[in-house]
Chains A and B, each alone.
Chain A
Amino acid sequence: MQLKPLARSLAVALSIVVIAGCSSTGGTQDGDSYGSQDGSSTGMGAGTSGAGTGGQYGSTTGSGSGAGQQADSRIPEVRTIYFDYDRDTIKSEYESAVMAHARYLRANPNAQVVLHGHTDERGTREYNMALGERRARAVQRFLNIQGVSNSQMSVVSYGEERPAASGQTESAYSQNRRVVFNY
């Protein structure tokens, strides 16, 4: 399924509404940054800068979004996206990364991705298992709205069980709140 640019940005907006509607807290911060995307004709968020989650992700995000259609034969390089505390909203800075996966999966209908949802260590383990699943499913819904078949995607939540960073700092927590694309 190929969407025209306008239809695609409508789909982005729609997916944002769906995801925001499913978020238990539904705050304003993420909604505002999505709002700034509405005027963009591409909806790719190419100009978005990494807002405080560390330069290493910001730079790869930038190159991924500029790669265009030629990259559709390769699995996108950015395979981890990060989330705010207690949120399952896809932040605008990772939208282009998720869109790149959507393009790849549409272009390669035989490709399969397992979306691994993770949380930071705060809170109880089984409840965090549910929150990790909520994050991974938010990405799955987003990809599905972008035209990726659900048969190409599955979701596994690891909750807080597989932290990427150790320690009880906000920096460690922010690296652990993530969804990883596993092909």
Chain B
Amino acid sequence: MQILSKVWLFCALLFISSAASAQLTIEITRGSDQALPIGVVPFAGNEGMSEDIAQIVQDDLERSGLFDPLERSAMFEKPSQADDVEFGTWRSLDVRYLVVGRAQQTGNGYQLQFDLMDISGQRRMIGETVTANANDLRGAAHYISDQIFEAITDIRGAFSTSIAYITAQGLGDNMQFGLYVADADGRNSQQVLTSDQPIMSPAWSPDGRKLAYVSFESERPAIYIQDVATGQRVQATSFDGINGAPSWSPDGRRIAMSLSKDGQPEIYIMDITNRSVERITNSNSIDTEPAWSPDGRSLLFTSDRSGGPQIYQHTLGSGETKRLTFTGNYNARARYSPDGDQIFLVHRSSRGYQVARQDLDGGRLVVLSDSTRDESPSVAPNGTMVIFATQQGNNGVLSAVSADGRSSFRLPAAQGDVRDPAWSPFLN
């Protein structure tokens, strides 16, 4: 048994590669007209460093859709600390907030100091000194973005999170699939697994350390659980038929999934420790795509028990099952917002498949995305953005839209299809 797990570890390590062949880039596709004007001044002492700290912060804030950053070319003053900020100068540029900072080399890294200024209130809101390793300057910059975002919006920033996604190239029997993890801005992509058989449905454990996913590497689907940092992994299921759509419980002890071992695909809950499964749904129809509610008390799932796919909510314990969607004849793969008040799902309209949002207290369905083949919505842990898969030309790309639908951006890859994104929980 121990030898077996060592072999597993060895194999898994082979899969890990820092070769960033599926690097993603960012394109802002829709800006909100209600975005807050902010200036992020280049950090003093940034010259000669491998990363432009202010640029990373500016890009983070712009991507959130809540901020409209001032162009650098419009900055005729470059203060680097709170005392040097001339409020009148920035007010005349219609800037409401200003970020200034400086970098200083230390032993094997940098000290980054920043201040966030409220221009109209003429005051310093927050400031902090951040110690950063030379090889984690991007992480330090995302941390600064998180502090600024929270100070202004009262919402926890999600810039220091990750996204997992699947890549695919080729056709039919000649395909290559990859499972990657990248920073939330698409950078630093790391290959977690590669296979000539399909990989799909990555799902983060609530502590952000593990991914459950479906792999066909044994020539049929099975669910695996892999530690992202060490690469160590185990096969969690290999039942006859479909082993699909894993979703972790908020306490990290159980995984909801779809299994067709007893006929039609049904929702089951597996206890991760002893691998026992409990059947949740009982219908002569397709039941799949479970998603756990943030409070752990209920599951969303897709079922075609009424004819076409619709979203249902199953209350654990009581077993009460309620249909949630009634708009249109195709609603599938729903996910809860982090506060549990809304769901995000794939909705088919006359124009095709789009990401939509629906309030749970009887609200109507609101379409958020504007393409024709949008799928796999995954909500940021702070609930502000939804990342999803879409099509650009003949390629699958990742895109994100703000939860209010006002702003969006795209994450195109250099080559092949990118799909099935999963936004990580908060990692710190």
Bound: A25/B304 CA distance, A: 11
In the complex the two chains form, is B309's CB within 8 Å of A127's CB? yes
In the complex the two chains form, is A125's CB within 8 Å of B307's CB? no
Q: How many of chain A's residues have a CB under 8 angstroms from any CB in B?
A: 27
Contact of A168 with B242 at beta-carbon distance under 8 Å, contacts A126-B258, A127-B333, A161-B200 already known: no
Bound: A126/B203 CA distance, A: 13
Distance of B324 from chain A, by nearest CB (Å): 16
- A151-169 toward B: CB 8 Å interface, digit per residue (1/0)? 0001111100111111110
**Would you call B12 an interface residue if the criterion is a C-beta within 8 Å of the partner chain's C-beta atoms?**
no
In the complex the two chains form, is A123's CB within 8 Å of B330's CB? yes
Bound: A14/B175 CA distance, A: 39
Contact of A126 with B304 at beta-carbon distance under 8 Å, contacts A133-B242, A158-B198, A167-B394 already known: no
Bound: A167/B396 CA distance, A: 11
In the complex the two chains form, is A24's CB within 8 Å of B308's CB? yes
In the complex the two chains form, is A24's CB within 8 Å of B353's CB? no
In the complex the two chains form, is B171's CB within 8 Å of A125's CB? no
What residues of chain B lie closer than 8 Å to A11, measured between beta carbons? none
**Would you call A129 an interface residue if the criterion is a C-beta within 8 Å of the partner chain's C-beta atoms?**
yes
**Would you call A124 an interface residue if the criterion is a C-beta within 8 Å of the partner chain's C-beta atoms?**
yes
Bound: A166/B396 CA distance, A: 11
What residues of chain B lie closer than 8 Å to A25, measured between beta carbons? 307
Distance of A123 from chain B, by nearest CB (Å): 7
Q: Which of B171, B242, B375, B391 contacts A157 (CB 8 A)?
A: B242
**Would you call A113 an interface residue if the criterion is a C-beta within 8 Å of the partner chain's C-beta atoms?**
no
In the complex the two chains form, is B346's CB within 8 Å of A162's CB? no
What residues of chain B lie closer than 8 Å to A74, measured between beta carbons? none
In the complex the two chains form, is B309's CB within 8 Å of A164's CB? no
**Would you call A93 an interface residue if the criterion is a C-beta within 8 Å of the partner chain's C-beta atoms?**
no
**Would you call B62 an interface residue if the criterion is a C-beta within 8 Å of the partner chain's C-beta atoms?**
no
What residues of chain A lie closer than 8 Å to B288, measured between beta carbons? 126-127, 129-130
Distance of B29 from chain A, by nearest CB (Å): 20
What residues of chain B lie closer than 8 Å to A156, measured between beta carbons? 216, 219-221
What residues of chain B lie closer than 8 Å to A157, measured between beta carbons? 221, 241-242
Q: How many of chain B's residues have a CB under 8 angstroms from any CB in A?
A: 43
In the complex the two chains form, is B173's CB within 8 Å of A162's CB? yes
**Would you call B260 an interface residue if the criterion is a C-beta within 8 Å of the partner chain's C-beta atoms?**
yes
In the complex the two chains form, is B260's CB within 8 Å of A130's CB? yes
Distance of A107 from chain B, by nearest CB (Å): 26
- A18-37 toward B: CB 8 Å interface, digit per residue (1/0)? 00000011000000000000
What residues of chain B lie closer than 8 Å to A121, measured between beta carbons? 373
In the complex the two chains form, is A24's CB within 8 Å of B307's CB? yes
- B268-307 toward A: CB 8 Å interface, digit per residue (1/0)? 0000000000000000011011000000000000101001
In the complex the two chains form, is B201's CB within 8 Å of A126's CB? yes
Distance of A139 from chain B, by nearest CB (Å): 15
In the complex the two chains form, is A166's CB within 8 Å of B242's CB? no
In the complex the two chains form, is A133's CB within 8 Å of B200's CB? no
Minimal Cβ-Cβ distance residue in A for B172: A164
What residues of chain A lie closer than 8 Å to B353, measured between beta carbons? 122-123
In the complex the two chains form, is B376's CB within 8 Å of A130's CB? no
What residues of chain A lie closer than 8 Å to B285, measured between beta carbons? 24
What residues of chain A lie closer than 8 Å to B286, measured between beta carbons? 127, 130-131, 134
- A101-135 toward B: CB 8 Å interface, digit per residue (1/0)? 00000000000000000000111111101110110
Interface residues of B (CB under 8 A from A): 168, 171-173, 175, 198, 200-201, 216, 219-221, 240-242, 244-245, 258, 260, 264-265, 285-286, 288-289, 302, 304, 307-309, 330, 332-333, 346, 348, 353, 373, 375-376, 391, 394, 419-420
Interface residues of A (CB under 8 A from B): 24-25, 121-127, 129-131, 133-134, 154-158, 161-168
6 tightest Cβ-Cβ pairs between the two chains A and B: A161-B198, A130-B286, A126-B245, A124-B333, A124-B332, A130-B265
7 contacts between A and B (CB under 8 A): A126-B244, A129-B244, A133-B242, A154-B240, A158-B198, A161-B168, A161-B216
